[in-house]
Structure 1
């Protein structure tokens, strides 16, 4: 079984006497149902699972449920003998977005407090935005992502002792020895190939067959595209077109969305597609990075909503589209292959999964820096540049940014293939794999915001 860090959060929530219902959001195929089922069956004598998407295509028992009593009646038809008491009964409402009215009912189920509940779904951001009565205060919504690099290491046999040792090295800014560095780079490159979708990771672990992995990634990629576009008939062609353009955008120098390319119509602007962008982002299948031209803390106050980069939610899907079955392009670190787009993609997914809202620096005269994140400890912005080649010390825009006294930047990072951790003024050069320890959340009561 794959280790998922969200397991701890789910267990802690279900073990507390919380008055809120935990709602796990996220794209399809990231493992929501599996991990909730696994935890629920561990902790509760009576585990009741109801898939609302299946119900909507079948008996539609919950289609017209309007009261708590109606809800209990329908549950009893499925698993009446398991409905005991709150302490030993967990009702898992899966694919809740199939019945938006049930999102409102969560408030009343929480108030009734007769059983323990947990729910999950996809496109919940979209669904909630169209829900007349959002159950604020009654739900705790948490987003789940594909396996991050740390979870991928666990899947490949690394244990807690090794991970903690690596984290200590990162926090002390100590370089790994050459053998361990090479091992970590090997794992990192394999992560670029496999990504973090559970089915793809399991296929890799079981078969080491890249064709099998690519087939799964391709199937999920097509499923995402079809799934996202079917929910809004009026906009589905534009949604699908934006999603399909992302890999080719990654190969462009600027990498950002160009509005006129979406429908190949002159005069179209970013604002014409705001709803489509929001739809894809809320679905969890793309990751958004907003432009900042004036990087003052907090960054959200300076974002430019008309300049946007979109990344696929899984680096394995991207590397499959770009390189197919040619694993040597990535594993051999071929100098003729520019891996910049997959490096940037994996950094985006790591940072977002670890709690950061992402921005990038864009200045017409001074250039671009790949990422900007908020540092709440120093109340300043932290620039991050991602380099996949040997020219990792060349970054004129970053140099200009950190020396601008108006921005009060205290530190910056360049993530690269270099083994040695080095410092040049405010800039620290880190091996790319250490991005897994950039955290914007407390861990075991310790604040791990980029020490």
Structure 2
């Protein structure tokens, strides 16, 4: 069983005596069900499990009444001895809860009743046009947690890197001292492997167990195909084709010199009005994330974001690699991250930052200034340059040399280095990106 960060969130939720029913949302196949079931079996005597996607007839349980005694009676009638209800000892799991809006409405009544803990999971929650029923959301009676595919730290755990080793990295970052060579080289290898494998649990488990990259690639391509199927099945009829076209344009968008998302790249002559909703659908499904250009690289970042100028990255680096041409896996594993005009490397960093819960920002001016990422770090706005090779940092130095104009005092350069410093620029190995938290 793969160790996931959500495990600790679930334990903390249970330890809170006043906890509400829990909703875990995230893209399909990121491990929601596996984590919730493992937690439930570990901490509860009885687990009542309903999957509304696999068993649509379960929705009938909620048609006539949301009284808790009635609901438990109906679940018992349908599930037999798989549904045992004892206060404080039973947990109820509503899997794919977006398929049954009334089940989500019932969470309010489960909270008020208080006898049973309830967790719902959903992969298409809040998607425009999909089972829209705003009144079904029990505002104030549920806690919502976002779950992502496995992040780089979870990937390290799966590959035998211990918390003690990760603590060594934190000390190196804090003291700005080099990482010991053996660990440094091991983590450089694992970063390349993570770039290709990504964080989908099935892909990670297959990689850890077999090291067969063809099997990993097949899993990834199956997941991408299932996402495309979702776009056809669940989007409104007017959006189906546009959503898929928008999604399939992402590799092309990122392979440009200027990686700003352009609707005309989807189809010649296309405009924002035609595809804006399609892009939002894909983002709401947890498949992509946006990185917004800043009018000026200073705090508050969100306040300085230009909402209609952005890049689009895949939320999982492994899925992105699987969408590129055959042979890309081999190139990356051999250290060639500079293909596609740096898109692979940028998407890797976007993956790492996004899974940390960071919003993404960059800075680009027509004058030629270009900063890959700008983030809040230790209460300041900090420039982040990502270099697949030991490239120059002309834009970074230009901004740092004009503090009266840009109000930037520090920058971080991620690349194939060990820890070091060049004046105001902290150089870090790319694998340390996941440690750049704002505290």
Partner of 1:443: none
Partner of 2:415: 416
User: What displacement does 1:329 show?
Assistant: 1.0
Q: Does structure 2 conserve the Cα–Cα contact (< 8 Å) formed by 1:238 and 1:262?
A: no
Match of 1:173 among 176, 189, 203: 176
Using the size of structure 2 for normalisation, the TM-score is 0.92
User: What displacement does 1:133 show?
Assistant: 4.8
Partner of 2:429: 431
Match of 1:185 among 178, 185, 188: 188
Tell me: CA distance 1:398–1:78, structure 2 relative to 1, closer, same or farther (3 Å).
Answer: farther
User: What displacement does 1:414 show?
Assistant: 1.2
Partner of 2:317: 315
Partner of 1:445: none
Which 5+ residue runs of structure 1 have no aligned equivalent?
441-448
Tell me: CA distance 1:121–1:246, structure 2 relative to 1, closer, same or farther (3 Å).
Answer: same
Q: Does structure 1 conserve the Cα–Cα contact (< 8 Å) formed by 2:337 and 2:388?
A: no
1:287-298 correspondence runs (5 A): 287-298=289-300
- RMSD over aligned Cα atoms: 2.2
1:329-344 correspondence runs (5 A): 329-334=331-336, 337=339, 340-344=342-346
Partner of 1:100: 101
Q: Does structure 1 conserve the Cα–Cα contact (< 8 Å) formed by 2:381 and 2:408?
A: yes
Tell me: CA distance 1:255–1:229, structure 2 relative to 1, closer, same or farther (3 Å).
Answer: farther
Partner of 1:119: 120
Partner of 1:27: 27
Q: Does structure 2 conserve the Cα–Cα contact (< 8 Å) formed by 1:148 and 1:196?
A: yes
Tell me: CA distance 1:425–1:280, structure 2 relative to 1, closer, same or farther (3 Å).
Answer: same
Partners of 1:338 and 1:182 in 2: CA distance: 25
Moved more, 275-284 or 163-172: 163-172
Deviations 1:226-273 (A, max 9, x none): 21342222201111111111112121112221112223225x2x3443
Partners of 1:9 and 1:355 in 2: CA distance: 14
Are positions 1:387 and 2:387 aligned together?
yes
1:130-279 correspondence runs (5 A): 130-232=133-235, 233-265=237-269, 268=271, 270-279=272-281
Partner of 2:404: 405
Partner of 1:303: 305
**Corresponding residue SS for 2:77:** helix
Deviations 1:18-48 (A, max 9, x none): 3422211100111000000000100000111
**Corresponding residue SS for 2:150:** coil
Partner of 2:72: 72
Deviations 1:401-422 (A, max 9, x none): 3334244223221111112x22
Match of 1:282 among 271, 281, 284: 284
User: What displacement does 1:207 show?
Assistant: 1.6
User: What displacement does 1:314 show?
Assistant: 1.4
Partners of 2:338 and 2:374 in 1: CA distance: 29
Partners of 1:254 and 1:177 in 2: CA distance: 37
Deviations 1:320-342 (A, max 9, x none): 33253454312222488467222
Partners of 1:351 and 1:128 in 2: CA distance: 31
Tell me how many residue pairs correspond in the alignment: 433
Partner of 2:15: 15
Partners of 1:314 and 1:346 in 2: CA distance: 8
Partners of 1:254 and 1:74 in 2: CA distance: 57
User: What displacement does 1:276 show?
Assistant: 1.7
